Amino acid sequence: MRRVTKKVESHQHLSTKTFNVAVVGLSGSEKEKGCKGVGKSCLCNRFVRPFAGDYHKEHISVLSQTDFSGQVVNNDHWLYWGEVTKLVNEGTEVTFSVIEQTEFIDDSCFQPFKTGKTEPYYKRCAATRLCSTDKLMYICKNQLGIEKEYEQKYLNDGRFLVDAFVCVFDVSEVQGRSLDKAIEYTGLILNNLIKTKKPVVLVTTKHDEANEFYLREAEKLVNRKEFRGIVPIIETSAHNNINVDNAFITCFQLLDRNNDQLVTEKTQGTQPLEVTQRIKGILEVMKSPTRLEEWKCSMVEVDRLFLLMESMVKSEKTTKKENNSIKQNRNSRRANLIHTLQMESKQLRELKYENEQLSKALEEYQVTVQFLMNKYRELTGRFSETKLILPDQLTLDDHEAALARQFEKINEMSAVMAKAVQLDENASEKEDQNLIEKLRKENDRLRRLLSS
């Protein structure tokens, strides 16, 4: 199985083996990890099988004894996720083989299954040599019990030698999980991982629902004295497929390049120990009486051997100096790479904050526009229901009809006024007649009095 398909001079030592990565992180029952996991399985799933149809959000943690003994789990507390080829720096294609260190829970007692080793998870997950004969690749939880209906790929030779570690830390709030305990447990895991002298990357997961305070605590963790400059931090979201590949490729870039040592020519002729023994032998011979010519020859041989020894010592010093120079350059490149990754993480956080602000502004804008549109529709509806006739819209017929109505009203008022005047006049005449009649009667009465 080849890991590099395009040979690049700086990675020729990797061309005949797979780059093996172990994904670790807080595991156990709900008492330890809360009601949800930290996202190890989703991270592995998205990296190995990134397409939407192959991605599953739910994975196994609580099993029956039958499923635990099946070929997928194979009585182990780790899963084999298979292999995937990715394009890394300098146009190099690298084949990654991924396993996930977890802790399976027995559905009958809700306690971790008991296996041969009784070490706590934070120690067990740092194992660099794993063996499991006939172990099948894990695809999804529905695969258990019907393995033959899925692709069957076995762990190569039943062995897995870890080259690097991805330590997962969840930055979302999970019910039943304390942040302090999560930080403490992750610190224990990192302490055991760095003892292996393998590259270690801290990957923060679930950034689609991240808590900024949790993220700052994760940054404080990697900035501790024992981890500073050794463990870079990568922010990811498996659900949104953000930065997942970068987490694993960073492990490859941080791989200690011990195989890139300076190639030197092997020393020809005798080795230092053999030269020393020959010199001692010649000196022993010179102690006994011998001829002058043999003594001179012995001295010449001794001088030659001393010169050879001196040249070998110089060559060894030169080799050590060059190796130290290579080691310093390698450490410098590693420190620069970690610094670059940290700067990129900072830029990603700034971009994420800007995106959140823009999203909030966009939501407010949409609410405002919706409110204005509703008001506009309401006013438009009212206007269409109300039929107004403006003066400049009146026609000639309308004017004539209006005038006719006015004339009718005026005539009606004139008739009323005439009737009122007539009634008033009739009333006045009647009053006058009554007064005249009264005066006449009064005169007649006076006349009769005078005549008598």
Tens digit of each residue's pLDDT (9 = 90 or more) over 146-200: 999 999 999 988 999 999 999 999 999 999 899 999 999 999 999 999 999 999 9
pLDDT at 294: 54
CA angle 224, 227, 232 (to 5 degrees): 110
Percent of the chain with pLDDT over 90: 38
Distance (Å, rounded) from C-alpha 25 to C-alpha 81?
Answer: 16
pLDDT of residue 386 exceeding 70, the answer is no
Tell me the domain boundaries of the chain: 9-260, 272-368, 392-451
Confidence category of residue 20, pLDDT binned at 50, 70, 90? very high
Candidate from 154-168, 202-216, 302-316 with smallest mean pLDDT: 302-316
CATH code, 9-260: 3.40.50.300
- By percentage, how much of the chain surpasses pLDDT 70? 78
The per-residue pLDDT for range 4-13, each reduced to its tens digit, is 333 333 344 4
Residue 86 has pLDDT above 50, yes or no: yes
CA 276 to centroid of chain Cα atoms: 63
Min mean pLDDT across 29-43, 89-103, 176-190, 344-358 is at 344-358
Place of tokens 């399976």: 104
Sole residue written with tokens 């004339």: 407
Give yes or no for residue 429 having a pLDDT over 60. Answer: yes
Has residue 262 got a pLDDT over 50?
A: no
pLDDT for the residue numbered 191: 95
Residues 228 and 226: their CA atoms lie apart, in Å, by: 6
Q: Compare 79 and 317 and report the one with higher pLDDT.
A: 79
The mean pLDDT of 68-86, rounded to a whole number, is 93
- Taken as a whole, the chain contains a residue count of 452
Closest CA to 345 of 215, 226, 206, 234: 234
Give the helix/strand (H/E) hosting 408. helix 396-451
Q: Which class for 25: exposed (0-12), middle (13-18), buried (19 or more C-beta within 10 A)?
A: buried
The mean pLDDT value for 406-422 works out to 80
